[in-house]
Amino acid sequence: MAEEILTVSNLIKRYGDLVAVNGVSFAVLRQEIFGILGPNGAGKTTTLETIETLRPIEGGEIAVNGIDVRRNPQAVKRIIGVQLQSSTFFDKLNLVELLSLFGELYGRTVDPLALLDEVELRDRAKEYVGNLSGGQKQRFSIAAALVNEPLVIFLDEPTTGLDPQARRHLWGVIRRIRSEGKTIVLTTHYMDEAEYLCDRVAIMDRGNIIALDAPHRLVTQLLENGFKKEKIQHLANLEDVFLSLTGHVLREE
Amino acid sequence: MRLKWKMTLASLKMFFRQREAILWTVLFPLFVIILFSFIKFDGLGRMHLGIANEAGGRAGALTEALQSVKTFEIFEGTRESELRELEKGERDVVLIIPESFNPALAGSVTAFADVEAKPREAQLASLVLQRALDELTFHQAPNANRLLLKTEPVKTRNLTYIDFLIPGVLSMAIMQMGIFGVAFSFVSLKKRGILRRLWVTPINPGDFIIAQISTRVIAILIQMVLMIGVGMLFLNLHFVGNPLSIVVIGLLGAVVFLGFGFSLAGISKSEDQVAPLANLISLPMMLLSGVFFSRSNLPGVLHAITGFFPLTYLADAMRSVAIDGATLFQVGPQLAGLAAWGVVSVFIAARMFRWE
């Protein structure tokens, strides 16, 4: 599990005077769930989209499974799966048709229903994406990212805007996909999500990575440095109250 | 190839599942035709009288007398050209004044009319014409023999407004499909991030464009069959053209207007920007390119300018082939005009088109 599947070294991206990504380097290990955290504008999405071949590389190197993104973006596209931040799909194609079409883009004949099973959407197979709930849309978006059996899957804020049940459900889906041997790189604003899902996280701010380690080790380091939380630690939080009252069962609006 | 086909198929599915798009781009032109077919423009205005004067100055008094008859709008030409116009339906009655005509002597002139298709016009014209002849002889020599009007029934194609309208509206529909059909859907795909999602797959942008174009072209072909079919079955359209020539002209028109569509899609960032630009281009052409009404009534300068509009070339070529049975060779000037516009619009599209 020590093999590096994604390496980013000294990545630089500027928008005019603004330096969005300022010499970022990190490596993601095979079958890892790797989180990129940070406030808005920290450079998370830019970093992700550059790896995904959507933005040109201005400085630095990126390699996915040993393939240079700058030199061979087409080959990289074939081995990655992507969920964009605001994933939208064609209006008037149902889920099965969309997955078949996306399969065709990779020259593959896919089994759409099996993919929908993976994200528990088989019962919505004939729906248009527009008729799905927020959580279902995100899950479909993940199914669409799986059509080419990618080695690495990128999820940009997959749970933003979802209710607690839908978030937890999606966590289950993400973990299951990892257990099938895939590597997952995600961004999130939710620390509990990062703590629960991620093997390691990189914290970005102003285009730099300012910390990179396993969540529990980052916490330990902070405590060793003498940090004390002001409030008394409760054994439960409001989310636990909410979930114990409303249950963990997924709601589909 | 398989991918292009699959993408075209998916794109066709999307296209035909969009009810509003079908309504506006396919059914609306059909509605226009059916609606206009109820209006009898043909019954309005004056009777078109063609005169072939082979007697020269000796018939001067007669033609002058006829000019003052308010019932007639007079056209003069040779026997052949006027009879041809009669056959096409551009004239209601054609009067032939033979070389032997002499108001001082007995003789006859001949009026040609389609008495079966236009009985009222034929009857009225022969009354008025005979009356004019009588006045002429009476005026010249009260005792001279009567000049007789002979009426010759002919069979004409009796072209109506529908025959003018359908090729025009068909051309307009091709324009709308190209400009609106492409520009709006592309800008929406861009804005909503659907294109970005495609670019993280190994898709070849060219394949995607080809699928988009194929979809529009197929829609245009369906539209042509539908409109000409409805016209012939229900509206008495006198279609005599070579269907293959119609398809060739339609495709050339499609190239021109798809080029406009992609140019607009390239320039605009949102639907709000597309709408005014698309209307700015298409509205003047819709009104001034001879789609609904002949351009011959436009004032000189405007007539000259509108002659260069791509829709004018398209509508004129379409009409000549569909209704007059012209060959592609005969509409060569129009095809050349269209081709020139095609080069311009494809060039602009290639320069302006942006994925992001």
| B164 in the same domain as B126 | no
Do A88 and B2 make contact, defined as CB atoms within 8 angstroms?
no
Q: Is the pLDDT of residue B44 over 80?
A: no
**In B, what residues contact A, Cβ < 8 A?**
2-3, 6-7, 10, 13-14, 17-18, 192-194, 196-203
According to the per-residue pLDDT averaged within each range, which of B207-211, B288-292, B338-342 is highest? Answer: B338-342
Q: Is the pLDDT of residue B284 over 60?
A: yes
Nearest to B200 among A52, A92, A104 (CB): A52
Inter-CA distances, A78 with A106, A182, B317, Å: 7, 14, 48
CA-based nearest residue to B250, from B339, B346, B170: B170
The vertex-B200 CA angle with B196 and B204, nearest 5°, equals 90
Given a contact cutoff of 8 angstroms between Cβ atoms, the answer to whether A77 and A53 are in contact is yes
CATH number of the CATH domain containing B146: 3.40.1710.10
Q: State mean pLDDT over A153-178.
A: 90
Structural element, H or E, at residue B35: helix B28-37
Up-side HSE of residue A156: CA atoms within 13 Å toward CB? 19
Model pLDDT, residue A252:
61
| B73 in the same domain as B103 | yes
Which domain does B332 fall in, by range?
2-39+160-352
- Give B18's contacts in chain A (Cβ within 8 Å): 91-92
> Tell me: the pLDDT tens digits for B162-202?
888 899 999 999 998 888 888 888 888 888 888 888 888 98
Model pLDDT, residue B45:
66
| B219 in the same domain as B345 | yes
Q: State mean pLDDT over B150-162.
A: 77
> Tell me: the pLDDT tens digits for B116-131?
777 888 888 888 888 8
Among B137, B153, B169, the domain boundary falls at: B153
Q: State mean pLDDT over B148-174.
A: 83
- In whole angstroms, give the CA distance from residue B208 to residue B10: 11
Model pLDDT, residue A24:
92
Model pLDDT, residue B338:
95
- In whole angstroms, give the CA distance from residue B17 to residue B13: 6
Residue A63 CB burial class (10 angstroms; 0-12, 13-18, ≥19):
buried
- In whole angstroms, give the CA distance from residue B29 to residue A55: 43
Model pLDDT, residue B111:
84
Q: State mean pLDDT over A218-224.
A: 86
Among B85, B119, B153, the domain boundary falls at: B153
> Based on the structure, what is the number of domains in chain B?
2
| B165 in the same domain as B291 | yes
- Give A50's contacts in chain B (Cβ within 8 Å): none
Q: How much is the mean pLDDT over chain B?
A: 85
| B182 in the same domain as B204 | yes
| B13 in the same domain as B82 | no
Structural element, H or E, at residue B272: helix B271-288
- In whole angstroms, give the CA distance from residue B126 to residue A242: 96
**CB-based burial, B220-247: b 16+ in 10 Å, e otherwise:** beebbebbbebbeeebebbbebeeebbe
Nearest CA in chain B to A82: B200
Model pLDDT, residue A199:
94
- In whole angstroms, give the CA distance from residue B159 to residue B167: 13
Q: What is the largest CA-CA distance in chain A?
A: 57
Given a contact cutoff of 8 angstroms between Cβ atoms, the answer to whether B7 and B211 are in contact is yes
Q: State mean pLDDT over B274-283.
A: 89
Residues 6+ apart with CB under 8 A from B38: none
> Tell me: the pLDDT tens digits for B328-355?
899 999 999 999 999 999 998 888 877 7
Task: Count the residues in chain B.
Answer: 356
**CB-based burial, B49-60: b 16+ in 10 Å, e otherwise:** bbbbbebeebbe
| B136 in the same domain as B164 | no
| B206 in the same domain as B99 | no
| B337 in the same domain as B190 | yes
Give the lowest-confidence range in A50-59, A102-111, B35-44, B218-227. Answer: B35-44
Among B107, B130, B153, the domain boundary falls at: B153
State the sign of the Cα–Cα–Cα–Cα dihedral A43, A47, A53, A57: positive
Given a contact cutoff of 8 angstroms between Cβ atoms, the answer to whether B200 and A77 are in contact is yes
Q: Is the pLDDT of residue B99 over 60?
A: yes
| B22 in the same domain as B104 | no
| B202 in the same domain as B109 | no
Q: How confident is the model at residue B312 (pLDDT cuts 50, 70, 90)?
A: very high
Interface test with A, best of B9, B12, B201 (most A CBs within 10 A): B201
Does residue A179 sit at the B interface (CB-CB below 8 Å)?
no
CA distance A118 to chain B (A): 20
Given a contact cutoff of 8 angstroms between Cβ atoms, the answer to whether A50 and A216 are in contact is no
- In whole angstroms, give the CA distance from residue A123 to residue A109: 21
Model pLDDT, residue A1:
46
Q: Which amino acid is at A163?
A: D
According to the per-residue pLDDT averaged within each range, which of A70-79, B110-119, B298-307 is highest? Answer: A70-79
| B268 in the same domain as B186 | yes
Structural element, H or E, at residue A44: helix A44-51
SS3 B252: helix
Model pLDDT, residue A232:
66
The vertex-B330 CA angle with B325 and B332, nearest 5°, equals 130
Up-side HSE of residue B114: CA atoms within 13 Å toward CB? 19
Q: Is the pLDDT of residue A2 over 80?
A: no
* Backbone φ and ψ of B3, nearest 5°: -65, -45
Nearest CA in chain B to A104: B3
Does residue A87 sit at the B interface (CB-CB below 8 Å)?
yes
Model pLDDT, residue A246:
82
